């Protein structure tokens, strides 16, 4: 009986069988050896032994099977509880993964721990926008499902490049893609160079990967470096976004840029000029900024794109 709570319902069966055998052996021994005083009413020895066994076995049997039934129920509910726990853990991991697809890891942790606005200032961040040239005209002859499939394929390819270079995808707005570097201290390499490498990889992939770009799409890109504010907007369907003059400059450089080109502001140029090749600077008339000096990124000097960068214009 003790074996049921200690060992469990299934493992207790051999012990109960052994107990029954032991009681039987004791009864048999009593039958063979017993020669005590005879009662006034003579009872056959076989009947005496039978009742001796029943006296033990009936009570022990009832107790055993009640305990065994209870142990079986316990094991059943423990198994159900473990299954429910595994399902809950899998769902929590899935929710965590979805949250990390929306927010950077540190921001997601803060959002889970505190119900308060999240807004952080960063003194130096490199921001890049990329948009598809003539997207409106291209989309005019396509069904909505085709437009979605095209954007999903292109932007999923960009997501892979952002992950490869350790950068943070911020959002997509229509046909525009936004990514930033400098928001995560864990990035080993220079994040401005990481943005430049990603931009060059984006150009290369669209030019040579026909499975990704089967419609001959062109993109233009703008890169700016400087201070930003990053935070989570709203409490429902929230997004992680960036604000500041750096973001505005990168966006406007992109809008005014040449199709197929990567343009950078002066701060970004000074960071990259020793390792990357640039065309001669040009001036763009940006809304709210007036004339702004920009530089067209050609490629990495390691690839012999350009021996020396063009000097800065006055």
Regarding whether 79 and 161 lie in a shared domain, the answer is no
pLDDT at residue 311, as a whole number: 38
Regarding whether 196 and 123 lie in a shared domain, the answer is yes
Is there a domain that residue 213 lies in? yes
Regarding whether 131 and 18 lie in a shared domain, the answer is no
Q: What is the mean pLDDT of residues 262-266?
A: 95
| CB atoms inside a 10 Å sphere around CB 120 | 13
Regarding whether 125 and 7 lie in a shared domain, the answer is no
Q: What is the domain-level CATH number for residue 191?
A: 3.30.70.1230
Is there a domain that residue 311 lies in? no
Regarding whether 261 and 184 lie in a shared domain, the answer is yes
∠236-242-244 over CA atoms, to 5°? 135
Regarding whether 58 and 127 lie in a shared domain, the answer is no
Is there a domain that residue 108 lies in? no
Regarding whether 199 and 272 lie in a shared domain, the answer is yes
Q: What is the per-residue pLDDT across 184-214, written as a single tens digit (0 to 9) for each?
A: 766 667 899 999 999 999 999 888 877 767 7
Beta strands in the chain (DSSP E): 119-132, 168-173, 176-181, 219-233, 239-243, 262-264, 276-278, 282-286, 290-300
Residue 247 has pLDDT above 70, yes or no: yes
Q: Are 199 and 268 in contact (CB under 8 A)?
A: no
Who wins on pLDDT, 126 or 61? 126
Please tell me the least confidently modeled range out of 106-115, 128-137, 183-192, 195-204: 106-115
What distance in Å separates the CA atoms of residue 90 and residue 293, rounded to the nearest whole number?
Answer: 52
Is there a domain that residue 309 lies in? no
Count of domains for the chain = 2
Is there a domain that residue 42 lies in? yes
pLDDT-derived band at 57 (thresholds 50, 70, 90) equals low
Of the residues 58, 79, 102, the one at which a domain ends? 102
Residue 313 has pLDDT above 50, yes or no: no
Boundaries of domain holding 186: 115-303
Tell me what percent of the residues of the chain surpass a pLDDT of 90. 33
Tabulate helix, strand, coil % of the chain (nearest 5).
Answer: 50, 20, 25
Regarding whether 203 and 136 lie in a shared domain, the answer is yes
């Amino acid at each position: 009986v003790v074996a049921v709570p200690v060992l469990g319902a299934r493992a207790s069966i051999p012990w109960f069988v052994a107990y029954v055998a032991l009681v039987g052996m004791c009864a048999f021994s009593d039958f063979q050896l017993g020669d005590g005083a005879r009662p006034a009413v003579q009872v056959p020895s076989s009947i005496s032994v039978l009742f001796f066994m029943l006296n033990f076995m009936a009570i022990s049997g009832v107790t055993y099977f009640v305990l065994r039934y209870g142990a079986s129920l316990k094991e059943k509910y423990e198994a159900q509880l473990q299954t429910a726990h595994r399902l809950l853990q899998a769902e929590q991991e899935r929710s965590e993964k979805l949250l990390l697809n929306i927010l950077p890891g540190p921001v997601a942790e803060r959002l889970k721990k505190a119900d308060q606005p999240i807004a952080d200032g960063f003194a130096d961040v490199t921001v890049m926008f990329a948009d598809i040239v003539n997207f409106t005209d291209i989309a005019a002859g396509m069904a909505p499902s085709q437009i979605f499939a095209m954007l999903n394929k292109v932007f999923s390819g960009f997501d892979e490049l952002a992950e490869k270079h350790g950068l943070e995808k911020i959002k997509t707005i229509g046909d525009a893609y936004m990514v930033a570097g400098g928001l995560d201290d864990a990035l080993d390499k220079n994040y401005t160079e990481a943005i430049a490498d990603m931009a060059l990889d984006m150009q290369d992939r669209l030019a040579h990967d026909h499975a990704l770009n089967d419609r001959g799409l062109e993109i233009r890109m703008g890169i700016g470096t400087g201070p930003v504010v990053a935070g989570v907007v709203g409490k429902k369907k929230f997004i992680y976004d960036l604000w500041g003059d750096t973001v505005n400059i990168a966006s406007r450089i992109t809008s005014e840029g040449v199709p197929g080109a990567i343009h950078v502001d002066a701060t970004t140029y000074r960071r990259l000029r020793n390792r990357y090749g640039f065309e001669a600077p040009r001036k763009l008339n940006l809304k709210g900024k007036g004339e702004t000096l920009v530089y067209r990124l050609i490629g990495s000097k390691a690839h012999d794109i350009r021996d020396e960068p063009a000097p800065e214009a006055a």
